[in-house]
């Protein structure tokens, strides 16, 4: 009987120690799991955006795709983007032809006629894996262009996109002497008073600058091309 009691007591002790070991292992695993979940939640938890700069503040240093730019806060169209630091993209607007930032406190003057377009819209974003504009002309656009081309008489060549292609209803304007220097893609005017719009891209390091302006401005395309050059020099610090 004594042996049985000792054996039973020994069995209880062994099982108790084993249960305690299992409990310790489970507690450790749960603790590690909780830490992992907490770390992931910390990484994914949305950060509160930095305080926006006042529109009349000095120019802000911003980085897009690792490229440095300096922009006036009043030119930034999205209030949440009005802060220094790293951005995925920037949406900007500049007055034309002065290239000044708009006065955000100015109120439009009532008029029966629609105001003439007076702004250049700019988007800066990462280029990712897209082709630069000059390479796009040879590898992508060329597959969809019509055979005909027209000379504008002032140094531009007009290339039409074929119907039934992804660029249907658009035309490509190319500087005859240097296609890689000025090559906007423009939509044709729509029904009624809907104006055509041109998109012009410039690759800056790992960032793309997309400029949008009315197609009618191409009547002075050299002035537009020169203004865009000045604007890029204005937002791109010297030496970068």
Phi then psi dihedrals of residue 160, to 5 deg:
-95, 140
DSSP 8-state symbol, 239: T
Strand partners, 150: 158
Tokens 């983007």 sit at which residue?
A: 81
Residue 24: predicted pLDDT? 52
Residue 56: predicted pLDDT? 66
Residue 80: predicted pLDDT? 95
Cα distance between residue 171 and residue 64, in whole Å: 30
- Distances from the Cα of 216 to the Cα of 49, 59, 117, 155, 219, angstroms: 39, 31, 10, 16, 6
Residue 229: predicted pLDDT? 96
Residue 22: predicted pLDDT? 46
Residue 126: partners with Cβ closer than 8 Å, 6 or more residues away: 64, 65, 88, 89, 206, 207, 208
Give the distance between the most distant pair of CA atoms in the chain.
118
The pLDDT profile of the chain, 240 residues, written as one tens digit per residue, is 444 444 444 444 544 444 445 445 445 555 545 444 444 333 334 444 456 767 667 799 999 999 999 999 999 999 999 999 999 999 999 999 999 999 988 877 777 777 789 999 999 999 998 999 889 999 999 999 999 899 988 999 999 999 999 999 999 999 999 888 899 999 999 866 788 999 999 999 999 999 999 999 999 999 999 999 999 999 998 877
């Amino acid at each position: 009987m004594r042996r049985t009691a000792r054996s039973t007591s020994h069995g209880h002790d062994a099982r108790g120690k084993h249960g305690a070991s299992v409990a310790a292992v489970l507690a450790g695993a749960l603790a590690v799991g909780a830490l992992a979940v907490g770390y992931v939640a910390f990484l994914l938890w949305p950060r509160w955006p930095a305080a926006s700069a006042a529109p009349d503040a000095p120019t802000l240093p911003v980085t897009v795709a690792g490229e440095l730019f300096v922009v006036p806060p009043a030119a930034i169209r999205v209030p949440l983007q009005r802060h220094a630091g790293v951005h995925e993209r920037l949406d900007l607007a500049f007055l034309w032809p002065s290239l000044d930032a708009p006065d955000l406190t100015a109120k439009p003057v009532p008029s029966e006629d629609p105001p003439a377009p007076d702004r250049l819209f700019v988007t800066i974003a990462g280029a990712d894996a897209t082709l630069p504009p000059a390479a796009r002309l040879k590898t992508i656009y060329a597959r969809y262009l019509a055979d005909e081309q027209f000379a504008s008489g002032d140094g531009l060549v007009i290339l039409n996109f074929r119907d039934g292609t992804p660029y249907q209803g658009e035309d490509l304007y190319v500087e005859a002497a240097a296609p890689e220097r000025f090559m906007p893609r423009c939509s044709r005017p729509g029904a009624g008073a809907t104006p055509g719009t041109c998109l012009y891209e410039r690759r800056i390091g790992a960032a793309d600058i997309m400029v949008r302006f009315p197609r009618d401005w191409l009547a002075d395309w050299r002035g537009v091309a020169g203004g865009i050059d000045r604007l890029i020099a204005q937002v791109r610090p010297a030496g970068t």
